[in-house]
Amino acid sequence: MIVGTLKGFDQTINLILDESHERVFSSSQGVEQVVLGLYIVRGDNVAVIGEIDEETDSTLDLGNIRAEPLNSVVH
């Protein structure tokens, strides 16, 4: 999951995110946050865009959140 401040977008949903970071989930460790900074995401890689409640987000204990890996995509 990539979290950042939306700075711009175009008609094909290409996104420009500032102050962004990727949250990497693991089944054995807490959530790792990888700093990305200014980041451009191609529109065909976007599945969901939403607004984060910063107050709620700041209360999350990311070190204790675990998640199982997603299953492979079957075509």
Q: What is the pLDDT of residues 2-19, one digit of tens each?
A: 999 999 999 999 999 999
Query: Mean per-residue pLDDT for 35-42?
Result: 96
Mean predicted lDDT score pLDDT of the chain: 92
pLDDT at 17: 97
Query: Mean per-residue pLDDT for 57-68?
Result: 90
Residue 69 located in a structural domain? no
Count how many domains the chain has. Answer: 1
Total-model pTM: 0.78
Task: For residue 11, give the DSSP letter.
Answer: T
Residue 35 located in a structural domain? yes
Q: Which domain holds residue 28?
A: 1-55
How far apart (Å, rounded) are the C-alpha atoms in residues 66 and 57?
16
C-alpha angle 68-38-65 in degrees, rounded to nearest 5: 20
Here the CATH number for the domain that contains residue 47 is 2.30.30.100
Residue 50 located in a structural domain? yes
User: Which tokens hold the place of 43?
Assistant: 């529109």
Residue 19 located in a structural domain? yes
Residue 51 located in a structural domain? yes
How far apart (Å, rounded) are the C-alpha atoms in residues 10 and 23?
25
Residue 31 located in a structural domain? yes
How would residue 46 be classed by pLDDT, with cut points 50, 70 and 90? very high
